[in-house]
Amino acid sequence: MTALNRYIFHGISLSFLLILFYLLLKGPGTFYAGAAVLVFLFSAVVITFLEVHPFVMLLAALLPLSIRMSIPGSGAELIFPGEALEGLLLMVFVLRFIIRDQRIDAGFLFHPVTIGLMCMLFFTVLSTAFSTMPGVSVKALIVRTLYAGVFYFLIHESIRTAPSRFLNYFMLYGASIAAVVLYTIYNHAGYQFSKDTSGIVALPFYSDHTIYSACIAFVLPFFILLAFNKSIGGFSLYARIFFMLLVLIFMAGIFFSLCRATWVSLVFGLLMVLLLRLKARPVHLLAGLAVIAAWLFAYSDAVIDNFKQNRYDSNARGAGIEEQTKSITNISNDQSNGERLNRWKCAVRMFEMKPFTGFGPGTYQFQYLPLQRKSDMTRISVTNPYHIKIGQGGTAHSEYLLALSEGGIFLFIFFVFTAAMAVFTAMKNYYRLRDRAGRLISGALVVGLVTYLVHGFFNNFLDTDKAAFLFWGAVSMIVTMDVYEKEKVKREFNQPD
């Protein structure tokens, strides 16, 4: 700490003590409320002068275990301790610019992925300005800014000189979510692993089985690496046996979650592994996607007719794994699929009404209700946003359509651009990194990312910190590795003979 920083620190500390003394004179009630705020602010100031890495590790470990709590006397809710730590770390991120003259690396700041994220935030702000529900949108904007600041920029700050630290974050998150998996399986066993209860057995840690299983699928590739590859982390045989046990726990959690979207996403994750092994380039991936899209467009009528003939119902009494899997394309009588189509159609109608600005961040769950058509609604459709039964909540059930309906066409374009650039950058890292461990971690990152992006066609979770941490943290790691490698090559190239 420099002499100037010491003076700043001591000055802030003295100011806090004087304010506490003043609040004490005002009475006990004012003192306790004010003291809580001041302790929070003082903690942010202290952490500003410390290494941020241990606090990000703490956040990673506590996020899967965080639960929703009411704030006494306010009527508001807080996901504790996750959101409290995130707010603290965002304040630290800002204070580092003010007090310590912190700067973001130019290579990271002007990376295409970062530019895409900044454009997303810009169009989120624009959409908020034209929102149909300004209060709701401002809150959503604050949350999205919080996630971008902490999970993308601050994680980069914590790992930019040592990218291998990122593995610690996923290991801690994974260890904590493994405890949640055991808890959930135990709860679910009490209900004979029925489909009807799959949406509640992960409470209070995860709101339903879809986000819970999506997060498990995201971390699974990393733990497979840790368990079966000696070059990752240099762990002992006993540690790798422990990681193998965690892999089995995760696979059991995904299986018993009965979340069909996660099962589908893992298939695409395996396809991504195959593409990496075949050394497929981003252009090949784009070409393949274009061919699939063209085929679906050309034979869309035949595909829809085939889907309509599917009568396997995931909600039928006694439906087994085979029926659950085959019901994925049932659009005739499967209630879950029917409701998802209902939400998607409403999202498209919202986009058609406000194609450029959308209805505003966070507004879908309120604004889609009057746009539902009776012919599309199911027995699990929602008509009152304030009285939603467990298992019938959610918003657009698609990251892509949610961005389109709430933020308009430009937010959608930059979300797709940012996600695509993250995947392409991870593939590039996998092929060019000279370090074997770095290549394998890049492969795990892109596989985890693909599982989420595929799942994102059927559900949306980026407005929750448990999923946003994994997604934006992984993207931050991908970009950091890319920048780190470029700088490393530049340093070696500029070395004198």
pLDDT, mean over the chain: 85
Q: Is 494 exposed, middle or buried (0-12, 13-18, 19+ CB in 10 A)?
A: exposed
Segment 451-465, tens digit of pLDDT: 999 999 999 999 999
**CA 78 to CA 311: how far, in whole Å?**
42
Indicate the pLDDT class of residue 316, thresholds 50, 70 and 90.
low
DSSP H or E stretch at residue 191 = none
Indicate the pLDDT class of residue 36, thresholds 50, 70 and 90.
low
Segment 123-179, tens digit of pLDDT: 999 999 999 999 999 999 999 999 999 999 999 999 987 777 888 999 999 999 999
Residue 184 in contact with residue 259, Cβ under 8 Å? no
Torsions phi, psi of 396, nearest 5?
Answer: -80, -10
Tokens read off for 106: 């130019």
Residue 77 in contact with residue 69, Cβ under 8 Å? yes
Our CA dihedral for 18, 19, 23, 24, rounded to 10 degrees, sits at -30
Segment 99-110, tens digit of pLDDT: 766 788 899 999
Tokens read off for 95: 């204070």
**CA 37 to CA 200: how far, in whole Å?**
34
Q: Is 113 exposed, middle or buried (0-12, 13-18, 19+ CB in 10 A)?
A: buried
What pLDDT shows up at residue 459? 94
Higher per-residue pLDDT: 85 or 347: 347
Distances (CA, A) of 460 to 211, 344, 394: 8, 12, 8
What pLDDT shows up at residue 486? 81
Our CA dihedral for 118, 119, 122, 128, rounded to 10 degrees, sits at -120
Lowest mean pLDDT among 64-78, 127-141, 264-278, 362-376: 64-78
Segment 342-361, tens digit of pLDDT: 999 999 999 999 999 999 99
What pLDDT shows up at residue 149? 94
Q: Is the pLDDT of residue 329 over 80?
A: no
Higher per-residue pLDDT: 23 or 278: 278
Residue 403's identity, in one-letter code, is A
Residue 399 in contact with residue 455, Cβ under 8 Å? no
- With a pLDDT cut of 70, the percent of the chain lying above it is 81
What pLDDT shows up at residue 243? 95
Long-range CB contacts (within 8 A, 24+) of 14-23: 16/41, 16/42
What pLDDT shows up at residue 31? 47
Which are the contacts of 16, defined by CB distance < 8 A and separation ≥ 6? 38, 41, 42
- With a pLDDT cut of 90, the percent of the chain lying above it is 54
Give the start-to-end residue ranges of the domains of the chain.
3-104, 145-296+336-489
Residue 461 in contact with residue 468, Cβ under 8 Å? yes
Residue 430 in contact with residue 378, Cβ under 8 Å? no
Higher per-residue pLDDT: 359 or 310: 359
- Helix, strand, coil percentages, rounded to 5, for the chain: 70, 0, 25
Residue range 300-305: mean pLDDT, rounded: 72
Is the dihedral angle over the CA atoms 410, 412, 413, 415 positive or is it negative?
Answer: positive
What pLDDT shows up at residue 182? 96
Residue whose pair of structure tokens reads 């995760």 in the numeric block = 250
Distance from chain centroid for Cα 105: 24
